[in-house]
Amino acid sequence: MVTPNPSGDREKVVSKLPSWLRQDLKVRAAELGVDIQDAASEGISAWHSADADYSPIDTAGSTSFSTWLPPGQWDELKSTCNERGIPFVQGLAQSIQLWLDTHPSPRHRPVTGIAQRKIVINQKGGVGKTAVAAGIASALAEDGMSVLLVDYDPQGHLSDQLGVGQIAPGADSLVLHMCGEARGNLRDLVVTIEEPRFGKRLHVLPACPDGFLLDAKIAVARMRNKEAALERALEPLEKDFDAIVVDCPPSLGMATDAAIYYGRRRQGEGEGISGMVIPVLAEDSSATAYAMLADQIESLRDDLSLDIEYLGLVVNLYDSRRGFVATSSLQEWRELGDPRVLAVIGDLKEQREAVRMHRPLLAYAPHSDQSEIMRQIAREIS
């Protein structure tokens, strides 16, 4: 519905919009000091002018949304929707999402100039490190941060899951940069995830199979402070990103020492920002593996006098139907207290489907329970 303004400079329009998207628009406009009607108008203009094929937005349960637009813009939006063969509400939702993507929140800009570092770590395989790392990075990018997601595992599951090609053996890679054998600029290896939801703010440093030799290469390399190898390699990139999320290999070797060192709290950095995020399972073997990892972290902390923070645990792939072992194990994780349990993620299908489609979960199923939990974790640790 369109109602002309007596002055003729704006028309009141009434349509529908998902409540979550309307709330995001309201919050972002307030953060940036922008009038909602101007934000909506800018988004519609940008969407109308763009040739991109935007990902569909779930508009189920949309409720009434009204704003004021320049004369003719509402009809122009309807015409463009007809040309693209999509419902009008879908076109409006995509326009608003485009404005949000191109106007990131200022909340997480690092005051200290130090990029946040989230180290997703556990030497036990199969606990969902890759899913948690990708989910956290996606949520931070969705919320306006420029994020680098580092595939530090030579198996390359993260790269594969996101449809990013791994670096060929022998080519320039993070491994060579860590060992002082760099052949180029590490920034040239970074790949941008082309999903409209992230507004070109989510980036990946792909894995290289040479990483299987990383422990041995660090051991024989002629370098001081070998624990700082990862930091020396990534430090030149830090100025380009608000956050760096590292998906670690299932290992207790020197590569893991380097990751732990990289996630330490630096001088001038606030508490609860950089540190270890540890995915675990609700089972006894996961508790044993966690104890081994904690010993390694504490040894490194004591030997080098480091300030290493546990940002928290993520109990992953939880299913209470597995009975007493699962429920009692979850209770034990919660009773630890420090580190705290950031979230419990169920064994749901959306993550597996996203992997099959080679897309980030938050782009494939943005309104799924798993996506909401990833956003919750990101809010807790940023």
Domain boundaries, the chain: 2-102, 116-380
pLDDT score of 2 more than 70 = no
Task: Give the bridge partners for 245, in sequence order.
Answer: 118, 149
Per-residue confidence at 306, pLDDT binned at 50, 70, 90? very high
Query: Given a cut of 80, is residue 362 above it in pLDDT?
Result: yes
Query: What is the pLDDT averaged over residues 73-82?
Result: 92
Predicted confidence (pLDDT) per residue in 222-249, tens digit: 777 889 999 999 999 999 999 999 999 9
Query: Using CA atoms, how far apart are residues 319 and 314, in angstroms rounded to an integer?
Result: 14
The pLDDT of residue 101 = 81
Tell me the pairing of strands 2-4 and 11-17. antiparallel
| Residue 121 exposed, middle or buried by CB count within 10 Å (0-12, 13-18, 19+) | buried
For residue 6, is pLDDT > 70? Answer: no
Q: What is the model's pLDDT at position 20?
A: 80
pTM of the predicted model over 0.85: no
Q: What is the pLDDT of residue 108?
A: 56
Measured distance between the N- and C-terminal CA atoms of the chain, rounded to whole angstroms: 41
Contact by Cβ (8 Å): 157, 120: no
CATH number of 116-380: 3.40.50.300
Distance, in Å, from the CA atom of 220 to the CA atom of 209, rounded to the nearest integer, reads 19
Q: Quick one: tokens of 86?
A: 């999509």
**Whole-number percent of the chain with pLDDT over 90:** 65
